[in-house]
Structure 1
């Protein structure tokens, strides 16, 4: 259930945000719905990445605990929030997403029944029309199968706004990297959890609603960051030939070349951070894409 036997909550909802007060006004009130009726409410922690608007005030007015970060940590703000959580599980949401009624309670039940699973990825429905998110459809067809002990198809990637994790496993793996900031930050965490022996599974009975905001979006900058982070993740955890293939692939577009240049600037500070994953994890990762 979503409440532990001692009456305390079993899961905390964590939202990392920056300058998104209008989105939070809509989404924060919906987080309690992640529990079934009568099952209590999950505490909500909002990690405010040094917003310049009234994001923090909106979050506080909605009853969330607010961490006012002095600078923009990107996705690593989720890690800071998880460190402040006191529950066994942490469910991530974006400022424009929320968990469907009953999903958090069900997720806790599933994790309790599968003690070697550290992360559950929910099915994501987009917009008022509830379109299936393409990433969810890819996870449903995961070529990694369903190993014993997992409650669904095994995955090595996910959308950060739609996962629930064991807090201790998440923190032991390092959480979300400060180096990657935002944009494709999920893969490094997935690889580190798998390397530590944890299972990650897609469970479509869990549902997250996502209403993507277009405010302040720069698609080109997003593509550039994703290429940067893809190359850096390859450098940090994968064989050197994979790093080379990722770099060559980046050269095919202008945004890719810019992202590769960004990665090259970051690499000198990451020479000592390279730690390739075990062969079994690399073999699983290699089955997912062309490099």
Structure 2
């Protein structure tokens, strides 16, 4: 089963058969929307979830990231493709460019970052926030399937939002050497790793943030360029799903092994029930 988290129109580009909606209730609340599950012609299962809800009713801060990831895990997903709308911090990454980042810099401050916040402590490695195999596969799929300029690797700085950056912040991020800026990479990537899911994203550049002279980011500019990027992302996701290797060749499937810090006998029963799907094999 392959999961996809992104804009609500993108899964329509996949030739899915026998689609049905699953209302999934999780220990972390309800996901942003029912999960649409279908099958590709070759039988590959695909589960789609709109990150912000069907009507974009959740902000980058309030999106139910934990429930979203948990719901995909519960439905049998092992690998997750995602898409993000981002601003560019570099002259050579203009709007309507696709970026497949390999690093994240976290500047958020009001989110729920972990499944393991009480009763069961997990200290999980996160040096490489995106699955390297999925990242390379997604970048290759973007080059093969779209007419967009594709940039592989680079750092996604994730801010809290929902406001865009100040000029001082934008210049600071540029001076730090970051490539793109957005609001939704965190905690999604962290939670996917805690759930032992392969995870990578294709980011569509919508604007130059606010650092570039005579370029003041507006919602309308973002929406217009996001609509143009959507066609590139649709074709990328379709190619990535169709050509996905059958077996995972990475370490994501046992990323939490050796990271549970709380002795099993000290974990309360209700907590153990809540995290059983995630770390039951290690308790």
User: If the TM-score is normalised by the length of the shorter chain, which range does it land in?
Assistant: under 0.3
Query: Normalized per residue, which structure has more helix?
Result: 1
The TM-score with structure 1 as length reference comes to: 0.26
Q: Which has the higher contact order (CA 8 A, sep 6+)?
A: 2
